[in-house]
Amino acid sequence: MLKNTNLGLVALIWGFGLTITMSAFKNAKVNDQKRDQYRFVYNPPSASPYSVANVTNPSHWSYAPDSEGCSGEERACSIVIDQAYVDLSATPALKPSANLTASFNAPTSTAYVTGSADGLMQIENSDQP
């Protein structure tokens, strides 16, 4: 009888231990807080307007909260990026830490945005001039 009680007690303790250790390794929920995002449009310079260097230069992007979307995939047009990559000291400006990336489309001689440090950034490239 004592042996069965000890075996039951060991099983009970083992069960509690297993429950505690397994609940410690549950997946954490992703933070569901709403992100503050800002829309910027690309303002190409006159020299090499759609080069990769110009498309990835933060100074060529202007804050445009009411801008309409773009279509196609040929050239840089607009992005929607997290507030962490926006300088809010005056008119919102894209920070260099956004680390925009772009690819060059040789047939059209234009660059288009491919990504940034903000993995959730929305990219809108355009096939319109």
How many Cβ atoms from other residues are within 10 Å of residue 77's Cβ?
Answer: 22
With b for 16 or more beta-carbon neighbours within 10 A and e for fewer, the 38-47 pattern comes to bbbbbebeee
pLDDT of residue 70: 75
Which of 70, 65, 67, 69 has its CA nearest to residue 110?
A: 70
What does 49-99 look like in DSSP terms, one character per residue?
TT-HHHHT-GGGEEE-TT-----SSSEEEEEEEEGGGEE-SSS-EE-GGG-
Which one-letter amino acid corresponds to residue 111?
A
Q: What is the pLDDT of residues 31-69, one digit of tens each?
A: 445 678 999 999 999 999 999 999 999 999 999 988 776
Q: What is the pLDDT of residues 81-114, one digit of tens each?
A: 999 999 998 899 999 999 999 999 998 889 999 9
pLDDT of residue 4: 58
